[in-house]
Amino acid sequence: MPRYGPPPEPPDEPPVATDEPSLTRWSPSRKALAILASGAMVAAFVFNFVPRSTPRKRVIPTTTRPAPTTTSSTSTTTTSTSTTSTTVFRSRRTATTL
């Protein structure tokens, strides 16, 4: 007796071959389409590995920024207090006051 249970039953007899045509019927247009599609898949696979005549150049988009501009410092004197304010523009949207 096997370790995990009784052995499986033997398979049934294979069916006897008959002279009936197969269930899949291929029309000439379906055969041509299958051959064309197979050829296209093989060509696409082969074309994927064909080396290029010129190496691929990687294009990195660059943007230019305007040079940072500074404004001259202004001095304001009131009574005995002196204040100096400098504004530095780092980009067009934001300004920092020191």
pLDDT at 39: 97
Q: Choose between 3 and 74: higher pLDDT.
A: 3
pLDDT at 35: 97
pLDDT at 74: 60
pLDDT at 69: 77
Q: What one-letter code names the amino acid at 22?
A: S
pLDDT at 42: 97
Q: Please state the pTM of the whole predicted model.
A: 0.34
Task: Name which of 69, 59, 71 is nearest 91 in CA terms.
Answer: 69
Percent of the chain with pLDDT over 90: 22
- For the chain, the DSSP string reads --SSSSPPPPPPPPPPP-SSPPS----HHHHHHHHHHHHHHHHHHHHHTSPPSSPPPPP------PPPEE---EEEEETTEEEEE-EEE-SSS-EEE-
pLDDT at 44: 95
Average confidence (pLDDT) over 25-29: 88
pLDDT averaged over every residue in the chain: 75
Q: φ, ψ for residue 23 (rounded to 5)?
A: -75, -30
